[in-house]
Amino acid sequence: MCGIVGYIGDKKAYPVLIKGLSRLEYRGYDSAGIALMSNEEDLRVYKRQGKVQDLVDFVDGMDIEGNVGIGHTRWATHGLPNDVNAHPHFSGDGDIVLVHNGIIENYDIIKKELIKRGHVFKSETDTEVLVHLIEDIKNNSTVSLEEAVRIALNEVHGAYAIVALSKHEPNKIIAAKKSSPLVIGMGEDEYYLASDATPIVEYTKNVVYLEDEQIAIIDRNNGLRIISISNKEVSPYVQELEMQLEELEKGGYDHFMLKEIYEQPRAIHDSFRGRLNAQEGWISLGGIRDFEERIAEANRIIIIACGTSWHAGLVGEYYIEDLARIPVEVEYASEFRYRNPIIRPNDVVIAISQSGETADTLAALKMAKEKGATLLGIVNVVGSTISRVTDAGSYTHAGPEIGVASTKAFTTQVTLMAMLAMMLAKKRKTVTEERFNTLLNEMEALPSKIEKLLESNDYIRGIAEIYKDAQNALYLGRGSSFPIALEGALKLKEISYIHAEGYPAAEMKHGPIALIDENMPVFVIATKGENYEKVVSNIQEVKARKGKLVAIVTQGDVTVKNIADHYIEIPDTDEMIVPILATIPWQLISYHIAVMRECNVDQPRNLAKSVTVE
């Protein structure tokens, strides 16, 4: 959580920081702040509860000069979202300012010690404790800012990405990270810092991803130097960004979420481009080629993820077990890591993550690594931490996803799961040639089928209009469409704040059926396939209790159309592809309901895109 930025160079820092914070606002948006420095002794901090725009309004008319600066957009962990708890935080003597993303777990013990030594704290944050600790070390040991930071970081536990300035060292920025991301952009005699590359890409494509427990010392006169917190010199490894600036703009859409829903044909095409060929009858995931044997022979595959990515893992479980006949377990990363799971040497652990930075997923991966498992990553953000700590993996290639509610990241994750299952099935000879070829053809046809489905957007908006005032909603699905019910419910909850639950359709009669009355919309996936008749029975049970039924049906369906209050047709396809297509109407329903309820679609309350705290 939280986004941090920094700049040092010849440009005016303020516009760079504000633009950068706006790009990072998806990471947290309850308060924002900046620190600017022109020369020695001139260190100004402006911070405000609210969004980056509230900060911009606040600083209107104030002194925003300076070629050096840092900024922060917050997702509160310690202390309410208010002006005082907003970052940057000053040291007690006003010499140092610091922005921080992460959690200092032992802040309370350090704070008590510092209070005994006369420090007075203004905020409730763990960050203020860290900047006071740095000040304490700097003043008592008469060391430079970087040395004080280094010593302090050896005393703290937890996660941090920090950027600090001292008004006595106006040509220098110090940054460090552990378990929270930090990227350094290398310009011509200028440097950018950010939680991810999105604020940097318009200025330079050359970046250094700081590794855990590394400290960057950026000096306007001497350039970039990296040391470890144990004081060893590290050579910066400069990489080139592949990201394009246009990917970060709304491109004429009202919201990033809608743009990202519409990007799905392209995103899915990118996720399988060069990895499968229906005409030639092959599938190959380059990133995991060296591990194919290992995965195909695994006793068990354990998928770990959070939120929407966990739903993609659940679909993956259906795919892999059905097609490749390897046992799969899907675990919430946050539970898995704390329950001393049994991991055998022949197990393969797959982490699924859009951001590649989710703290729980990362921690679960580290634990699995300690237990000797082979680690694979299915990740969207190129160069992210999960992509670097896993033994191998495949990028989903969805492109930057800015809307907090995951859309194209999810459908590309499911696409990757399908490809993995197909690749394993082929290798293990658990799929017939005919089915394999059908699946290859259906995968290739998927982008155009999604395009066709997106043509129903206005019609789906009409359905959303009818249910926009619902208090509750139930989502149902069977088999591999059950996780899509969960995902549909999550989408509705997170952006429109309507309570929604996802259930396996057959489970409804074991409890949730009690909720059904004439005010309860029930969203059901009732496409043609093995479970069709069973689902038809389930929806009859809904109608018998006067529930309002919105059904996703296969094009040409008659039976369900006659029962449901509203139906949405999806193009006919193999049953395995249905979950990907069926996701899209639920995304659009949630989107339109949220817009009609005047909710902040791209930045829903209390949420953040990248959850880098546990």
All residues at 6 or more sequence positions from 523 whose CB lies less than 8 Å from its CB, including other chains: 473, 474, 475, 476, 485, 488, 550, 551, 552, 586, 589
Identify residues 483-502 at the interface with ligand M6R (CB under 6 A). 494
Please report whether residue 309 would count as binding ligand M6R according to CB under 6 A.
Answer: yes
Could you count the other beta carbons within 10 Å of the beta carbon of residue 457? 17
Report the residue number whose CB is nearest to ligand M6R. 307
Contact by Cβ (8 Å): 158, 94: no
* Minimum separation from the CB atom of position 378 to ligand M6R (A): 10
Which x/- pattern, by CB under 6 A, does the window 352-371 give for ligand M6R?
-xxx--x--x----------
Indicate whether 611 belongs to the interface with ligand M6R (CB under 6 A).
Answer: yes
**Per rule CB under 6 A, is residue 411 in the interface with ligand M6R?**
no
Residues paired with residue 209 on neighbouring β-strands, in sequence order: 183
Angstrom distances, CA of residue 219 to CA of 54, 224, 264: 31, 6, 43
Q: Is 429 a catalytic residue?
A: no
Part in contact with ligand M6R (CB under 6 A); list of ranges 148-156, 317-325, 392-400, 606-614: 606-614
Smallest gap from residue 325 Cβ to ligand M6R (A): 27
Write out the E strands in 220-363. 223-228, 233-234, 239-240, 276-277, 282-283, 300-305, 328-332, 347-353
Nearest approach, Cβ of residue 453 and ligand M6R (Å): 20
Out of 33, 88, 92, 307, the only residue in the binding site for ligand M6R (CB under 6 A) is 307
Residues in the chain: 614
Does the footprint of ligand M6R cover residue 198 (CB under 6 A)?
no
Size of the site for ligand M6R (CB under 6 A): 16
Residue 500 Cβ vs ligand M6R, minimum distance, rounded to whole Å? 13
Catalytic residue list contains 609: yes
Minimum CB distance to ligand M6R, residue 149 (Å): 28
Token duo for residue 252: 């004429």
Q: How far is the CB of 489 from ligand M6R (least distance, A)?
A: 11
Residue window 267-306: x/- pattern of binding to ligand M6R, with contact defined by CB under 6 A = ---------------------------------------x
DSSP helix/strand/coil, 241 = coil
Stretch that binds ligand M6R, among 88-96, 114-122, 207-215, 604-612 (CB under 6 A): 604-612
Which token pair is 289? 């080629």
Pairing mode, if any, of strands 374-379 and 392-395? parallel
Q: Which amino acid is residue 23, in one-letter code?
A: R
Q: Which is nearer to ligand M6R, 166 or 406 (CB)?
A: 406
**334 belongs to the binding site for ligand M6R (CB under 6 A):** no
3-state per-residue secondary structure call for 390-405: CCEEEECCCCCCCCCC
CA distance 171 to 220: 5
Q: Which is nearer to ligand M6R, 191 or 336 (CB)?
A: 336
What does DSSP say about strands 96-104 and 158-166: parallel, antiparallel, or unpaired?
antiparallel
The residue within the footprint of ligand M6R, chosen from 406, 527, 573, 612 (CB under 6 A), is 406
Using the structure block, give the residue that is written with the tokens 């005010």.
Answer: 519
Which of 111, 493, 528, 609 is the catalytic position? 609
Rounded Cα–Cα distance for residues 313 and 362 (Å): 16
DSSP-derived 3-state class of residue 297: coil
Whichever of 49 and 587 has its CB closer to ligand M6R, that residue is: 587
Q: Looking at the annotation, which residues are catalytic?
A: 2, 609
Site residues for ligand M6R per CB under 6 A: 306-309, 353-355, 358, 361, 404-406, 494, 607, 610-611
